[in-house]
Amino acid sequence: MRKLNMGLMMALALGLAVPSFSTAFAAGTKSTKSASTKTDDSSAAAAPMSKDEAQKVAEHNKLRSEIKKVKYPAPKATIVSHVKGIKADDKKWFTDTLPDKTYESADDVFTALGWEANPAAPAAAK
């Protein structure tokens, strides 16, 4: 009788455990599929840029580096006068967009322009 009770208890335990194991396995499979989908999405985002897009990024980075070279705190006029080596239309945009005030750091200027203060490192640098 004891063996029969032990057998029934083991069967009951196994019967209750199997559905939870299969649910956990199915959830693991779904998360693996979504992770591979995310990887595919990020590789699509890292697709090669057109020549025009690459030039725009280079100009943007040049402007960022010029802004970082200014000694802070500095008023708008000083920052604008120190920004050199960028296209005339970009300089006009920069002059028109930047609010007229004194900035404490380059990050303040980036924020005023609506840019991210500390951009993520490029994928190639990782």
Give percent of the chain above pLDDT 90.
Answer: 6
The pLDDT of 74-84, averaged and rounded, is 89
pTM of the model: 0.53
The pLDDT of 56-79, averaged and rounded, is 88
Q: Helix H segments across 46-105?
A: 51-69, 76-82, 88-97
The answer to whether 90 touches 56, Cβ cutoff 8 Å, is no
- 28 token code pair: 């693991």
Q: How confident is the model at residue 75 (pLDDT cuts 50, 70, 90)?
A: very high
The answer to whether 87 touches 66, Cβ cutoff 8 Å, is no
Round to whole Å and give the CA distance between 10 and 77: 81
The pLDDT of 100-107, averaged and rounded, is 90
- Report the length, in residues, of the chain: 126
